[in-house]
Amino acid sequence: MTVIETLKSYLSTDPGADVRAALRADHERIRELAAQMAEEKTAGRRRALLAELKPLVTAHARAEEQVVYGAMLELRGAKEAHDLGNEGFVEHSLTDVLLERLAKTDLAGTDAWKAHATVLKEMLEHHIDEEEDAFFDALGERFDAAELEAMAIAFERTKAALDGGAEGQRRRR
């Protein structure tokens, strides 16, 4: 087994998968958790869902920024790609603010907390929809299959390092 195949196996990255598949897999789980959290009625369950969502979103966002957005911003003569990358950074920073507000408050049983959770869910849905449309198209136009596969490996490796390896361990269970 080559080093790349070993790394892919360790990181649960399918051979030939590109970064869009890795991002989409996270997006599905993020959507699910955010929707559950926004609809949940009990404070304890809301906090539990946030405790699962926050590290996933944070590790995903930082890895995506480093690996994917960074690559888009390095492209020369690609204004649309630059704009998409910059918008992604802004949307991530707004998501961070809402996650911090939700994490710092003891008001998980209140309407105000639910409103924050609902806005977070809607922001995440908008971000994911836009990313899986225009941004994924731009990635496909600007990078070849080998580059997209290398990005997938780098994304998973970076995310695992940021998440302390916890996400990879959860996937292997």
Domain boundaries of the chain, sorted by first residue = 17-163
Closest CA to 71 of 162, 4, 141: 141
User: Any idea how long the chain is?
Assistant: 173
CATH no. for 17-163: 1.20.120.520
Residues 6+ apart with CB under 8 A from 104: none
Distance, CA of 102 to CA of 88 (rounded, Å):
21
Tokens representing 173? 């269970």
- Give, for all 173 residues of the chain, the pLDDT tens digit: 454 444 444 444 455 589 999 999 999 999 999 999 999 988 889 999 999 999 999 999 999 999 999 999 998 888 888 898 899 999 999 999 999 999 986 777 788 888 999 999 999 999 999 999 999 999 999 999 999 999 999 999 999 999 764 444 444 33
Is residue 157 a contact partner of residue 38, using CB atoms and an 8 Å limit? no
Is residue 50 a contact partner of residue 102, using CB atoms and an 8 Å limit? yes
The verdict on pTM exceeding 0.75 is: yes
* C-alpha distance from residue 88 to each of 5, 93, 105, 147 (Å): 30, 9, 26, 20
Instruction: Please calculate the CA angle 134-136-141 and round it to the nearest 5 degrees.
Output: 90
Q: What is the pLDDT of residue 138?
A: 93
State CA 150 to chain mean position distance.
17
Q: What is the pLDDT of residue 78?
A: 85
Distance, CA of 47 to CA of 113 (rounded, Å):
10
Is residue 159 a contact partner of residue 19, using CB atoms and an 8 Å limit? no
Residues 6+ apart with CB under 8 A from 67: 19, 151, 154, 155, 158
Distance, CA of 46 to CA of 61 (rounded, Å):
22
